Structure 1
């Protein structure tokens, strides 16, 4: 899967910012200072993006797609990693990014949410 579109899609979210964590060799996408996506690689340098999902939805996706696994170096219940060279359709990946963004946005204080509007 070509993943060049991921950066602009993640940054198109209202209030989204990105940084690069050298020690993780990964790009993080943040809302209100909290991460909603991380793009990097696994221990074999295979490209992945890690996203937060509702636990039941994440489990369903892992059963359905071989290239979606429990979050790499993250909480395995809430985070999922998608192998970008795998068979996950772009619309599913966009749905996962949207869900991750919304979950993290909704976890922010009401005051912080208003500031981001």
Structure 2
């Protein structure tokens, strides 16, 4: 998955919006004013020191650690609560379906913290 595909997938979520409250270069994706993802170009921490697209996604704490153990391109959330957020490097090493699943989970975690009425209206659009 590349950054264009990630953006399209984020925006396909019901009532998803994008803004840059942290400044130019960091897209923040929200549902009903609650953040569920970010997308930014940053330095690769590896030997190449090249730039790489990365996304931050909310995650269940146990699953967050499991994903980090499975995928070298899943790291503790950059500039986020490292217990609840993962950074996923869009380097092509993780199958697109797995990244989409992580995005879906991030979106649903945020929706499930909303009042029931808001949850219901959003979840109806996911079916």
The structure having more radius of gyration, on CA atoms, is 2
TM-score by length of structure 2 reads: 0.82
Q: Where do residues 1-117 of structure 1 align in structure 2 (5 Å cutoff)?
A: 1-21=1-21, 23=23, 25-42=25-42, 45-114=51-120, 116=122
How far does the alpha carbon of each residue in 1:70-97 deviate from its partner, in whole angstroms, 9 at most, with x for none?
Answer: 0000000110001112411111100100
TM-score by length of structure 1 reads: 0.88
Instruction: Give yes or no for contact 1:61–1:68 (8 Å, CA) kept in 2.
Output: yes
Q: How many residues align?
A: 117
How many angstroms does 1:100 deviate by? 0.2
- Where structure 1 has 5 or more consecutive residues not aligned to the other structure, the ranges are none
Q: Distance in 2 between matches of 1:17 and 1:79?
A: 19
Moved more, 41-50 or 70-79: 41-50
Q: CA RMSD in A?
A: 1.9
Segments of 4+ in structure 1 off by > 4 A? 114-117
- Where structure 2 has 5 or more consecutive residues not aligned to the other structure, the ranges are 45-50
